[in-house]
């Protein structure tokens, strides 16, 4: 704020009054702390992104799916969304390993490419981490006549 005052000689002298603003903490608020992302968070994002791809029947090997189905039936247990996904998360980068089962008749190379693209896009968008690699292992092909590998319940 500038005020003009007149001196006895008729000259005008600017008088400047300033207001001091106090900034606490200094710097950008977004830079005041650290955010860590658990491996399980990245695994869950990747699993959901992979399941969205047409041609992916399931995640995980046959044994892992069978054991998971048994675990899902245990009272108090929860479904394992991350079955078939393993993530290694650093401060700014992550790497993922996925094990998938594809539907019979689809191009495995095309499905793997789309899974990789979907997973990278979802993880980078949601976490801000750079995805350095997505390794995909195709462990099985789901044939149209195959039934789901659900174990029979012990109690009827």
pTM of the full structure = 0.69
pLDDT of residue 63: 54
Is residue 65 within a helix (H) or strand (E), and if so which, with residue range?
helix 62-73
pLDDT of residue 155: 56
pLDDT of residue 1: 54
**Average pLDDT of each block of 10 consecutive residues along the chain (156 residues)?**
58 63 68 90 98 96 54 57 94 97 97 98 98 97 77 52
CB-based contacts of 102: which residues, under 8 Å, 6+ apart?
Answer: 55, 56, 57, 108, 111, 138, 140, 141, 142
pLDDT of residue 44: 97
Location of structure tokens 């950008």: 28
What SS3 state is found at 149? Answer: coil
pLDDT of residue 64: 47
pLDDT of residue 15: 64
pLDDT of residue 62: 60
């Amino acid at each position: 704020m500038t005020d003009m005052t007149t001196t006895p000689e008729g000259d005008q002298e600017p008088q400047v009054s300033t207001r001091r603003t106090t900034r606490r903490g200094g710097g950008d608020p977004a830079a005041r702390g650290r955010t860590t992302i658990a491996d399980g968070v990245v695994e869950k994002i990747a699993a959901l992104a992979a399941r969205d791809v047409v041609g992916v029947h399931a995640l995980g090997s046959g044994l892992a799916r069978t054991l998971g189905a048994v675990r899902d039936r245990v009272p108090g247990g929860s479904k394992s969304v991350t079955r078939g996904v393993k993530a290694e998360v650093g401060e700014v980068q992550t790497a993922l390993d996925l094990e998938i089962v594809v539907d019979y008749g689809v191009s495995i190379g095309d499905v793997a490419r789309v899974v990789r693209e979907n997973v990278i896009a979802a993880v980078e968008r949601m976490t801000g981490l750079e995805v350095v690699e997505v390794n995909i292992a195709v462990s099985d092909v789901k044939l149209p006549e195959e039934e789901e590998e659900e174990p029979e319940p012990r109690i009827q």
